[in-house]
């Protein structure tokens, strides 16, 4: 049985979707999985991101969003406790979120966030725990165990996994319309993020500009999200740097760095961790989050000329957080269009942990890295 699926978009959403398709359709020897993208890592939106797990930048967090987030959390957490963690850049970190500044509460956050039941080690901070943040004078806060993914490493490894399967092909190009693909594919998965504004003619998708600074601050080993008198700041450690943020500027298409934003980020983050005042060098980066007014669009469309398109875009500031969960739902939709024979599906279940079924590390033939000096 031949099946030609084209994923348009090679960001975190496109690649996690491609892996999930490959897993669930592994019994199709004639599967052709093509990933077409104008940009691949290290030039995608998530390469700029801090790869931090927490639903953020979405208008509402509904039951669907929580399901996607919870599944993704579980995948990342099990990857952290696997041989993948080092190469794929997956860190388990404690994350502190502090609401209110200088004793002034925004009045919204004395309740637990809706995602509190999805994560491990969640607790609201008591007065004693809050007192270490007295310099910020927050009025409430919580702590949880979560994940920060170094997305550049993660996408690199995921792409290596996909690339070693002869049924998968990568094409580096921009398309102007889905009609270009009509003769080449049975089904399209649209993972184009902000590109969906033009490709799917969806003007509810717009940029939420984010500027961050990657700095060397090796003493920081936890995440801090906090309010200041100038806005919300965050400090997120990665494998080899710390991400300081940030901005969330709706409808701003500017991909150039802005000096006043850089200064503001440094000022805000130094209010939380004053040692950051001494930081004078860093890599300033900008990305455009694919914000969508009604949240993520994840649904099937049959176009007037008979094309089957499954849309999955509009993840705003949560693309990493929702990635594997959305990918799973995309494939559930594909299964309603191209059913998998049950017995064939179970043949592909190998008893491996779920994350290993989704993608596996591909060994490097050259093991010289083992000889490098310690
Ligand atoms: C500063 C910043 C910090 C962030 N921090 C976090 C965080 O900590 N945690 C988190 O979960 N999320 C975070 N995000 C959000 C996250 O990065 C995005 O939600 C996510 O990257 C979106 O993934 P995507 O694959 O949909 O989009 P993209 O990465 O933009 O991928 C879309 C792909 O489609 C391709 N494409 C588009 N149009 C076309 C076309 N016409 N033809 C061919 N290809 C096309 C593009 O080239 C691109 O490769 C952050 C974002 C920013 C900017």
pLDDT above 90: percentage of residues in the chain: 87
User: For all residues of the chain together, what is the average pLDDT?
Assistant: 93
The residue range of the domain holding 164 is: 2-358
Peptide bond into 42 cis (omega under 30): yes
Which atom of ligand 1 lies nearest, measured to the CA of 196?
38
Residue 110 lies in a domain: yes
From CA 221, how far away is CA 267, in angstroms rounded?
A: 20
For 95-115, what is the mean pLDDT? 80
In the predicted model, is pLDDT for residue 102 greater than 90?
no
In the predicted model, is pLDDT for residue 326 greater than 90?
yes
Residue whose CA lies nearest to ligand 1 atom number 19: 319
pLDDT at position 373 is 60
Residue 148 lies in a domain: yes
Classify 39 as helix, strand or coil. Answer: coil
Both structure tokens of 2: 């031949």
- The answer to whether the annotation marks 192 as part of a ligand binding site is yes
pLDDT at position 106 is 55
From CA 162, how far away is CA 90, in angstroms rounded?
A: 19
Is 146 a pocket residue for ligand 1 (Cβ < 6 Å)? no
Give the orientation angle of helix 319-337 with respect to helix 63-80, to 10 degrees. 110
Is 55 a pocket residue for ligand 1 (Cβ < 6 Å)? no
- The answer to whether the annotation marks 83 as part of a ligand binding site is no
Mutate to test the pocket of ligand 1, among 14, 20, 49 (most ligand atoms within 8 A of CB): 49
Residue 162 lies in a domain: yes
353-372 pLDDT, tens digit per residue, is 999 999 999 988 765 555 65
pLDDT at position 101 is 84
Classify 6 as helix, strand or coil. Answer: strand
Split into its structural domains, the chain has a count of: 1
Q: What angle is formed at CA 141 by the lines to CA 140 and CA 144, rounded to 5 degrees?
A: 165
| CA neighbor of 279 nearest in space, from 219, 211, 209, 210 | 219
- Report which of residues 188 and 341 the model is more confident about: 188
From CA 205, how far away is CA 348, in angstroms rounded?
A: 37
- Report which of residues 165 and 1 the model is more confident about: 165
131-153 pLDDT, tens digit per residue, is 999 999 999 999 999 999 999 99
pLDDT at position 351 is 85
Residue 60 lies in a domain: yes
Is 191 a pocket residue for ligand 1 (Cβ < 6 Å)? yes
CATH code, 314: 3.40.50.720
Is 12 a pocket residue for ligand 1 (Cβ < 6 Å)? yes
Residue 365 lies in a domain: no
Question: Which stretches does DSSP call E strand in 194-342?
Answer: 205-215, 223-228, 231-237, 242-245, 249-250, 283-292, 297-302, 308-313
Both structure tokens of 88: 């794929």
In the predicted model, is pLDDT for residue 60 greater than 90?
no
Residue 364 lies in a domain: no
Residue 374 lies in a domain: no
Residue 321 lies in a domain: yes
66-78 pLDDT, tens digit per residue, is 999 999 999 999 9
């Amino acid at each position: 049985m031949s099946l030609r699926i084209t994923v348009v978009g090679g960001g975190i959403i496109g690649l996690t979707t491609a892996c999930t398709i490959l897993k669930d359709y592994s019994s199709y020897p004639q599967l052709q999985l093509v990933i077409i993208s104008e940009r691949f890592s290290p030039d995608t939106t998530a390469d700029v991101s801090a790869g931090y797990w927490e639903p953020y930048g979405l208008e509402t967090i509904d039951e669907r969003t929580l399901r996607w987030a919870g599944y993704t959390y579980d995948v990342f957490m099990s990857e952290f406790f696997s041989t993948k963690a080092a190469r794929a850049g997956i860190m388990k970190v404690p994350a502190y979120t502090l609401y209110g500044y200088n004793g002034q509460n925004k009045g919204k956050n004395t309740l637990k966030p809706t995602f509190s039941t999805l994560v491990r080690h969640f607790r609201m901070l008591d007065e004693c725990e809050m007192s270490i943040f007295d310099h910020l004078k927050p009025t409430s806060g919580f702590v949880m165990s979560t994940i920060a993914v170094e997305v550049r490493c993660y996408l690199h490894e995921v792409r290596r996994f996909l690339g070693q399967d002869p049924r998968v092909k990568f094409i580096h190009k921009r398309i102007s319309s889905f009609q270009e693909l009509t003769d080449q594919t049975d089904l399209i998965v649209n993972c184009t993020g902000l590109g969906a504004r033009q490709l799917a003619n969806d003007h509810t998708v717009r940029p939420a500009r984010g500027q961050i600074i990657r700095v060397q601050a090796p003493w920081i080993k936890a995440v801090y999200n906090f309010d200041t008198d100038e806005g919300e700041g965050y400090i997120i450690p990665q494998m080899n740097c710390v991400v300081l943020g940030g901005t969330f500027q709706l409808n701003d298409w500017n991909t150039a760095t802005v000096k006043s934003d850089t200064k503001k980020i440094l000022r805000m983050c130094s209010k939380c961790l004053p040692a950051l005042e001494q930081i004078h060098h860093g890599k300033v980066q900008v990305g455009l989050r694919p914000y969508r007014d009604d949240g993520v669009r994840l649904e099937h469309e049959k176009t007037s000329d008979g094309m089957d398109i499954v849309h999955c875009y509009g993840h705003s500031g949560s693309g990493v957080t929702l990635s594997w969960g959305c990918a799973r739902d995309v494939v559930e939709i594909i299964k309603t269009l191209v059913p998998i024979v049950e017995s064939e599906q179970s043949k592909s279940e190998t008893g491996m942990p779920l994350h290993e079924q989704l993608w596996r590390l591909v060994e490097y033939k050259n093991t010289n890295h083992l000889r490098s000096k310690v």
